[in-house]
Amino acid sequence: NSTARWKASDTRHHLHPFTDYKALAEEGGSRIITHAEGVHLTDSEGHRILDAMAGLWCVNVGYGRRELAQAAFDQMQELPYYNTFFKTATPPSIELAERLTALAPEGLNHVFFGSSGSEANDTIVRMVRHYWALEGKPEKQVFISREHAYHGSTMASASLGGQAAMHGQGGLPLPGFEHVMPPYWFDYGDTLSPEAFGEAAARAVEDKILAIGPEKVAAFIGEPIQGAGGVIIPPESYWPEVARICRQYDVLLIVDEVITGFGRTGHWFASEHYGLKPDIMPLAKGITSGYLPLSAVMVGDRVADTLVREGGEFFHGFTYSGHPVCCAVALANLDIIKREGLIEKVQNETGPYLAERLRDLSDHSIVGEVRSLGLVGAVELCADKANRTHFDPVGKAGVICRDHCIGSGVVLRAVRDAMVISPPLIFEKAHIDEAVETLRRSLDLTAQDMGMI
Ligand code: PMP
């Protein structure tokens, strides 16, 4: 009963910097999206597809928002571009900086704008290293991050990341970037309860700091929920302990909210859910709901004051930093989130409903774990539920299941063998039903394909 034409793919990694666009155009089908409205995509053959991944964790307010197009149009006519490089600004960048500092966790009073999450994290590496040098501790240069983390694709941000498929290529990771175990109970939890494992995973951060020497560790960076790593939701015991450890050893805490920011977890920022007060917080994606490229590094007084102390200058900026059209769209996007109560909707209505519907899948023969917070969740596929044993090779079942989902008209993503869902925040309960029911049918087909039935 397929609604979409989607050629099953192999299990190779899906990032193709040199996509063969001509071949893709000839293949057609659901790999080519021509139009979208609300939560639905239309492919090159006119099939309607439910987008349960919000494009790429981006399109929080959904597609086809005339208001955002109008904001861009108006700003382009008013002032299409001016730089923020030489202590200059534009009204939309000023207003957005104000709005973001009011929304962000306490103390994040300074904003540096860029165009992508990668740029934001690259900026942070330079900023933090320079900060410690100005503080008279130039040896404090090492960053600690986690395996499976994703922080971007530039040299520094990919070094922060813990993607096995990236490391070893092109000199990654650069020296000075260390990785520890993620709080991934399903894979690393062994015999520990989730809460005990959360504490053990936090201790791994402390052990790493001590192994390197606290005097050399500049910062710890983590996504509140590791998104592109497979929606790894830490046990509640993890973050408070990591934050305490960072304070104890004077290690800056960077919380990457590129995916979790702007309502995904039922809060403006997931830092609120975990009670975190980061020193630095990168934002992107949902800041404009993906309509235009924009990122922001939110910086606390401690780091910002040092960087500009005694007239000091941090020589850093991009041509498109604070682009007025992008900032105008971001402002209109924030207006929509607030006016339509999207955060409350996720927290009180659709988030709990997604959790409930995903829980229904836990009895499936190839489902090892389900997890979610707000409108981000994962269903972990496995060969043996009782022993949490993966399929061999890891990733094959996920790709098969994803292909079944898309072939049935619902976009979900597979990360290794975790089926990931992260829909627009305007998703209704009926959309969640459709996504979960399609996933259940796809799980049945995957179990067959993997020779389990
Ligand atoms: N940080 C996180 C947590 C991300 O998920 C991503 C992108 N998926 C990035 C940073 C990089 O953002 P961009 O692709 O805009 O460079």
pLDDT (mean) for 286-290: 98
Provide the 3-class DSSP secondary structure of residue 39. coil
- Find the 420 Cα to ligand 1 centroid distance in Å: 16
* C-beta 261 within 6 A of ligand 1: no
At residue 46, the 3 state secondary structure works out as coil
Which pLDDT band, with edges at 50, 70 and 90, does 51 fall under? very high
Taking all residues of the chain, what is their mean pLDDT, rounded to a whole number? Answer: 95
70 half-sphere exposure, CB direction, 13 A CA radius: 5
439 C-alpha vs ligand 1 centroid, how far in Å? 26
* Closest atom of ligand 1 to CA, residue 115: 15
CATH of domain 67-339: 3.40.640.10
pLDDT (average), residues 166-186: 95
Q: 3-class DSSP state for residue 329?
A: helix
Higher pLDDT, 333 or 452: 333
Instruction: Tell me how far apart the alpha carbons of residues 230 and 347 are, in angstroms, rounded to a whole number.
Output: 21
Does residue 152 line the site of ligand 1, with CB under 6 A?
A: yes
Q: Are 379 and 416 in contact (CB under 8 A)?
A: no
**Element spanning 126, H or E:** helix 117-134
pLDDT in tens, 224-262: 999 999 999 999 999 999 999 999 999 999 999 999 999
Are the beta carbons of 284 and 116 closer than 8 angstroms?
Answer: yes
- In the DSSP assignment, the letter for residue 292 is S
CB 331 within 8 A of CB 92: yes
Measured in angstroms, how far is the CA atom of residue 256 from the centroid of ligand 1? 9
58 in Cβ contact with 300 (< 8 Å): no
Closest CA to 342 of 293, 376, 375: 375
This model's pTM is above 0.95: yes
Nearest 5°: the CA angle 104, 107, 111 is 60
CA dihedral 237→242→245→249, nearest 10 degrees, is 180
- What pLDDT sits at residue 310? 78
Residue 148 has pLDDT above 90, yes or no: yes
SS3 72: helix
Q: Is 148 in the pocket of ligand 1 (CB under 6 A)?
A: no
Residue 9 vs residue 377, higher pLDDT: 377
* 394 CB-contact burial (10 Å; exposed 0-12 / middle 13-18 / buried 19+): middle
- State how far the Cα of 438 lies from the Cα of 10, in Å rounded to an integer: 21
Query: Does residue 183 sit in helix, strand or coil?
Result: coil
**Hey, which of 145, 258, 271 would you mutate to test ligand 1's pocket, going by the most ligand atoms within 8 Å of its Cβ?**
258
At residue 20, the pLDDT reads 79
Question: So what's the pLDDT on residue 12?
Answer: 56
Q: Is the peptide bond before 138 cis (omega within 30 degrees of 0)?
A: no
Q: 310 alpha carbon to ligand 1 midpoint, in Å?
A: 34
**Residue from 265, 285, 320, 415 whose mutation best tests the ligand 1 pocket (most atoms within 8 A of CB):** 285
* 349-367 burial code (b ≥16 CB/10 A, e <16): ebbebbbebbeebeebebb
Q: Are 346 and 373 in contact (CB under 8 A)?
A: no
Compute, in angstroms, the gap from residue 121 CA to the centroid of ligand 1: 9
Substitution site in 118, 254, 415, 420 for ligand 1 pocket (most atoms within 8 Å of beta carbon)? 118
Nearest atom of ligand 1 to the alpha carbon of 284: 15
Report the atom number in ligand 1 closest to the C-alpha of 149: 3
Return d(Cα 240, Cα 144) in angstroms, integer: 17
Q: What is the mean pLDDT of residues 336-356?
A: 98
Please give the Cα distance from 394 to 387 (Å, whole number): 15
CA of 282 to the centre of ligand 1 (A): 9
Q: Check pLDDT > 90 for residue 349.
A: yes
Q: Which tokens is 310 given?
A: 């005694």
Among protein residues, the one with the nearest Cα to ligand 1's atom 13 is 117
Encode 139-154: b = buried (16+ Cβ within 10 Å), e = exposed: ebbbbbbbbbbbbbbb
Q: Which residue has the tokens 């090779």?
A: 393
Q: Are strands 48-51 and 40-43 parallel, antiparallel or unpaired?
A: antiparallel
Which amino acid, 435? Answer: A
What are the start-end ranges of the H helices in 295-395?
A: 301-307, 324-339, 342-345, 351-359
**Closest ligand 1 atom to Cα of 223:** 3
- CA 251 to ligand 1 centroid distance, Å: 23
Instruction: Tell me the CA–centroid distance for residue 191 and ligand 1, in Å.
Output: 33
Measured in Å, residue 304 CA sits from the centre of ligand 1 at 23
Distance (angstroms) between ligand 1 centre and the Cα of 384 equals: 33
Asked whether 300 lines ligand 1 (CB < 6 A), one says no
Non-local CB neighbours of 1 within 8 Å, separated by 6+ positions: 408
Whether CATH 3.90.1150.10 fits 21-61+341-449:
yes
**Residue 1: predicted pLDDT:** 39
Establish whether residue 223 lines the binding site of ligand 1, counting it when its CB lies within 6 angstroms of any ligand atom.
yes
Hey, is 281 helix, strand or coil? strand
Measured from the Cα of 227, ligand 1's closest atom is 5
Q: In what order do the strands lie in the sheet with 280-283?
A: 110-114, 295-299, 280-283, 252-255, 217-222, 142-146, 177-180
- For ligand 1, the distance from its centroid to the CA atom of residue 379, given in whole angstroms, is 22
Span from the CA of 152 to the centroid of ligand 1 (angstroms): 5
Atom of ligand 1 nearest to the CA of 121: 10
Residue 139 has pLDDT above 90, yes or no: yes
Q: What ranges do the domains of the chain cover?
A: 21-61+341-449, 67-339
pLDDT tens, 6-21?
777 765 555 566 777 8
Spell out the residues 6+ positions from residue 22 whose beta carbon is closer than 8 angstroms to its own: none
Mean pLDDT to the nearest integer, 75-103: 96
Predicted pLDDT at 258: 98
115, 151, 160, best to mutate for ligand 1 pocket (most atoms within 8 Å of CB): 151
Q: Partners of 36 in the beta sheet?
A: 41
Q: How many CA atoms lie within 13 A of 203 on its CB side?
A: 6
Cα-to-centroid distance, 448 and ligand 1 (Å): 35
Helix (H) or strand (E) holding 369: strand 367-373
pLDDT digits (tens, 9 = 90+) for 169-178: 899 999 999 9
- DSSP designation for 63: B
Closest by Cα among 260, 265, 198, 226 to 415: 226
Mean pLDDT of 66-95: 96
User: Does any ligand 1 atom lie closer than 6 A to the CB of residue 258?
Assistant: yes
d(CA 398, CA 318): 38
Residue that has been written with the tokens 């104000």 in this structure: 98
What the block records as the tokens of 57 is 């964790």
| Pocket lining: 117 vs ligand 1, CB cutoff 6 Å | yes
